Chain A
Amino acid sequence: MTASRLIAEAVAQEGRYAQAIPMYGTERRGAPVTAYVRIDGRPVRRRDLVHEPDIVIVIDPILSGKPSVAAGLKSGGLLLLNLPKPPEEVEIGGDFLISTVDATTIALETLRRPITNTAILGAFSKVTGIAKLESLKEAILHRFPGEIGERNVEALRRAYKEVYPPKPAKGPLRPGEEEPPHVTGYGVLKSVADWRVFKPVVDLDRCISCRFCWIYCPETAISLVDEKPVIDYDKCKGCGICVHECPVKAIELMRETL
């Protein structure tokens, strides 16, 4: 979201029009979301979402490896991924180019947090030339004044230098051959499994059927089968409230393996 806003602000400084559309509902901070940007020489009027992008930027390292992120990408387009390996080693293939940058490492070293919004923009500027490094720097400093801004600019500059140049996508996996990743939307409508960092697991032998987890689950992800909780992992966002409420510690949070 922030990245899309910064692109729009940077190109507006350069005299072009941009529209930055975030797609979200009641997501928590850090959950994967989709944002769209349109850039044009005249005011952008259409208000629908972007279904056939020229460029896809993936800032989440887990989603970066999934070929479905390139679904709809135009022929000859560019896929910019946050991955710690050169484009030749990416397993995604198709009629487009791939560029990679290890934005997570850059963010950890400059911001000391895995927030890759600004780092990825340096790579975007270098490989596309659509927004100048200088205007992105201005946009960042305008939004984050002071030391935080300076550190974000450092992330921007490092990614500008360290990005791997685009190479044709030659990997074996094609977009559209797997289910698209679940980003944005509500648990009742779509799976929110990709939001989880930790997963609650129930020890049924310890469970005393008190129903506390069932009552407190804010996503109604828990149902009772023979008086024992069954978690619907498509609905569970991994908030851990059930773990906290369980009086006999029958639910445990396990690190998700992806």
Chain B
Amino acid sequence: MTLEVMVGNKAAATAAKLSRVQVAVAFPVTPQTTIVEYLNEFITSGEMDCEFINVEGELTAQVVVQTASRVGARTFCCTSGPGCLYMHHPMHDTSSLRLPVVMAVVHRGNKGMQPDHTDLMSHIMTGWMQWYAENNQEVLDTIVMAYRVAEDMRVRIPVAVGYDGYILSYTAEPVDVPEQEEVDDFLPPYKPKPSIMPEDLDLRRLRWWRTPWEEHHKAIVEAKEVIKEVNEEFAKRFGRGYGNGLVEEYRCEDAEAVVVAMGTIASTARDAIDRLRAEGKPIGLVKLKCLVPFPYEEFQRIGSEVDAVGMIDRNVCLGVGGVAYTLIRSAVYDLEERPRVLGFHAGLAGKEVKVSDVERMAEKTLKAARGERVSPLVEWI
């Protein structure tokens, strides 16, 4: 291992290099652009043996990774905000064809250049797994893990790894870069399925090979077990785990209430929880790392252990509400003793989320846990 000070985009490009990606395709878009630059630097200097294919837009980028993945190349794609939305249609195909493409989504909101999670969350029905990272180390580690999970024969589902543009993409901090041999041991070479080699090629199957909805849904749900397994193995090999791979609980012991956060807000929330714990307030943090497949079981267990949950959504599904808030409420509905579930919309369009903001949200959640009246139930920060 070597410790290197790098920005989030370099961490993403480095992860693609360490994963021995063979075909990378992307159309540059702020704040993702420097991933493309770093990848090309690696390729030009000979550090990375990879074909970078220039395309005229994101729709083509997704079609090209799809095709490359189908013929047996390990592929990487990366995008942001509007570019992410432009590739919506082929993303359905990538997952339906069960191609293990991994894509970094450097969040950029749809109402400006600054980040929120609406770009990636707009793809919630595309059948891609969605994981969110809180720091540059996690960006690197998550992309490496994503290949292992996506390519597992029990899964074969593409993964989008989201991280906040600007807040991580351009922020430099020390990242522990694993040795190439360690990653090679963890990540075996990719084999396409079905095989496209002429001797066992079945053209009819190749052309119409679409996973039916029910089977597709079950495959993603069942991927949860593989995610947990891979996360555990990664932790053993590299000394860094991310909770159980789906959620990570931070200082939740004897907590009366928890706040739930995703991406960089979860990172800031750790400082807020430390401050509140120092004041003796029994409150913890749950980091929601994996949004799709949604960890219902984990939230049922957490929900049965606390009296209130406060979900901080860096998104809004217009006219519906916070995406994770809605899912958590749904998860705890069947419990005999349900916790109260509060919602917060924070950090939309890149609005700064301070430690004190999280402290205030956590204190409100704790009040709700203790039976006090809180209003409104869903609040815009």
Contacts and interface: CB of A to CB of B under 8 A. Distances in A.
B219 interface: no
Contacts of A19: 171-173
A12 B271 contact: no
B270 interface: yes
Nearest to A20: B172
A133 interface: no
Interface in A1-37: 4-5, 8-9, 12, 17-26
Given A9-B5, A47-B264, A17 B355 contact: no
Interface string A176-204: 00000000000000000000000000000
Contact of A18 (B5, B167, B268, B355): B5
A2 to B, nearest CB: 11
A45 B173 contact: no
B5 A48 contact: no
A12 B174 contact: yes
B173 A20 contact: yes
Given A20-B172, A22-B171, A25-B113, A46 B267 contact: yes
B174 A47 contact: no
A49 interface: yes
Interface string B168-206: 001111100000000000000000000000000000000
Question: By DSSP majority rule, is chain B's interface helix, strand, loop, or mixed?
Answer: mixed
Contacts of A26: 30, 113
Contacts of A224: none
Most A CB atoms within 10 A — which of B30, B113, B171, B267?
B171
Given A5-B5, A12-B3, A45 B271 contact: yes
B271 A22 contact: no
Contacts of A4: 172
A25 B352 CA distance: 15
Contacts of B276: none
Contacts, number: 64
A215 interface: no
B274 to A, nearest CB: 9
A105 to B, nearest CB: 29
A48 B355 contact: yes
Contacts of A23: 166
A44 interface: yes
Contacts of A12: 3, 5, 174
A20 B267 contact: no
Nearest to B272: A46
Interface in B214-241: none
Contacts of B271: 45-46
Nearest to B173: A19
25 contacts: A4-B172, A8-B5, A8-B172, A9-B172, A12-B3, A12-B5, A18-B5, A18-B172, A20-B173, A21-B171, A24-B170, A25-B114, A26-B30, A43-B135, A45-B135, A45-B267, A45-B268, A45-B271, A46-B268, A47-B164, A47-B268, A48-B268, A48-B355, A49-B352, A51-B354
Given A5-B172, A21-B171, 19 more contacts: A8-B172, A12-B174, A17-B174, A18-B5, A18-B172, A20-B5, A20-B171, A20-B172, A20-B173, A21-B167, A22-B171, A26-B113, A43-B135, A43-B173, A43-B174, A45-B270, A47-B167, A47-B353, A48-B355
